[in-house]
Structure 1
């Protein structure tokens, strides 16, 4: 089992709530139990073909994908349910309890983030943390203090191992 809860050093923090570190097996089970999960993927996945493969593997578990930045380019013709949206716009929409989601089926209950620049995602997560009741899970390589649950700061190879374990548990 990959331990992703150890290194949670941060340099700044906002608000009184901070993410709890989570191991990949627990995160995978949480995603599996979610009624309406959404995987939000950023363009950082394009820097490593293995991250693209992990993203597709998660999506093929039946989880719809919100592709932000130019991450959609890696998901075209891969037989996944991916739709393009700007990450900051998505953060705004996720805060609206009446938003029908990207597929028109209703609001999401669990939002999973992978492949974003830390400084962009921190802004979105701060809004979600302070103004919604959504569970959000950062399966990023860096600890995201504004998420509900987050992996710790991981080396790239450990991050890939953690994603494999997460996928096994979905």
Structure 2
């Protein structure tokens, strides 16, 4: 959850994004997201399989809450930084070149993340570069941060489902005092 909060650090300087969305912007952002998920369907199925869920083990209530908050807010948090802040700060200077800058920062952060360094392959980098480009282009062409935040949240939904499927750590029974 702390990782999500870091993305919102510039909030005081850059403010709250404009919360408008058109059907076209939403379609332009979610369409490729769904295609990317279909492309990775085998990995999604594996991640949601009972075998994988069992291998990941049970979660305590605090860990489950943390993971659910992160997977629901993480995409919007990243889109706030890499689309809203980067676009507000650099579009006046770079115009359309803000798109590759945004993608480079977005993919770079994912590649440098500790979990990704041990689990990502070239396919993951390509998928995130393509989605980052789509989200940046939608933001540039429509100004709709909300469309890309929703699309990124949709992309994270398998992680939400996996978190919900994991068993709970049994609560400790009080030890009777003799």
Q: Please, what TM-score do these two structures have when normalized by structure 1?
A: 0.26
The structure carrying a bigger strand percent of its residues is 1
The structure with the largest alpha-carbon Rg is 2
Q: Please, what TM-score do these two structures have when normalized by structure 2?
A: 0.25
